[in-house]
Structure 1
Amino acid sequence: MDAFQRALVDERLCIQQCPETIKGLGVFAKQDLSKGLRLFVETPMFAYESKEDALRNIVHDFAMLPFDEQILFIRLFAGVIDTVPIIRKLNHDIGYAVATPERLRQIAQHNCIEGQGTGCVIQFFCSHLNHSCVPNAWLYWNDARNAMVLHAVRDIAKGEEITISYLQESVYLNRAQRNARLEN
């Protein structure tokens, strides 16, 4: 089993194509999940002081990753016309071709998970969590674990997509305000 397959295998969750193809890949429940359940803990591939720091350093830092982790990283979303994440098997030649500096920066741009004043991280599994204005999970940084932790905030049915709010610090914004923030 390669690194990508190991990353997709979990007893409770899986990454798969969303029924709404505009969303790309998402994280789904493989079984019923109860409110309050810790769904996963993931240490970051990269941690930075800011998104600008990530964009400035990602090309160099990517080159330092082991090959298996490079393959995981280049499978992350890089923009609305990106098809790489849904290619089943990436070989060395394809991996090399899609790991251009521009694409690496696009991956960092779209996958940095920012905390209010605490920096940002890039992680494989967390990067597949899609947004909902009414999310069923909460993602947060746990200093003691030096990792991101995902908990269910309500019961989640088997087959249901696991979603978070990309604006977790702004839960009281109205729809127009949320949409304006998401456009940035």
Structure 2
Amino acid sequence: MPSKTANPATLQDVIARFGGAAGEGRKPPVHLWNPPSCGEIDMRIARNGAWYYQGSPISRPAMVRLFSSILRREPDGSYVLVTPVEKCIIRVDDAPFTAVEMTVSGEGEARLIAFRTNVDDVVPLDSEHPLRVVVNPETGEPSPYVLVRDRLEALILRPVFYQLVEMSEQREEDGRTVLAVRSAGMVFDLGEVA
């Protein structure tokens, strides 16, 4: 597909209207925008959450937050940066975000776990933002994810996942012993006990 860069004027319009970066004001209503595709651009999000443009890292956190606010996952699983007038396909190695920090408030049924992502979104672990764990069948290594918004997930980084495991409890489920954590009155499985 041909490479094309986003229209700077359009991007500036989005910044002005929606308050800029994720976590600073309203998110753009990307779910309502259905412009024509301008093809793929040479932008990639690595598994560790780093953003690259034409092979070079995007080192300005505000720019990464801005791009993250106009990111959408399409029904076919592809990722696009979308404005009211164009959308451009980008590559995502795993999940577009990483959960870099966790906070816990309350105890027992009143416990609430929340994650902060690499773009400073704060995501509670609840029914709207569930946790899922995918286990690599070859290595047995877990990859935990939390839903951030609209089919966009954050890979929970290993140190944060270890914190979840430390606060987990064992429970029996379908004849298996699993580790689970409680948050927002719900129970989330972390994986089977070996």
Which structure shows the higher helix fraction? 1
> Is this a same-fold pair by TM over 0.5?
no
* Class of the TM-score when normalised by the shorter of the 2 chains: under 0.3
Which structure shows the higher strand fraction? 2
Structure (1 or 2) with the larger CA radius of gyration: 2
TM-score by length of 2: 0.24
Structure with larger RCO (C-alpha < 8 A, sep 6+):
1
TM-score by length of 1: 0.25
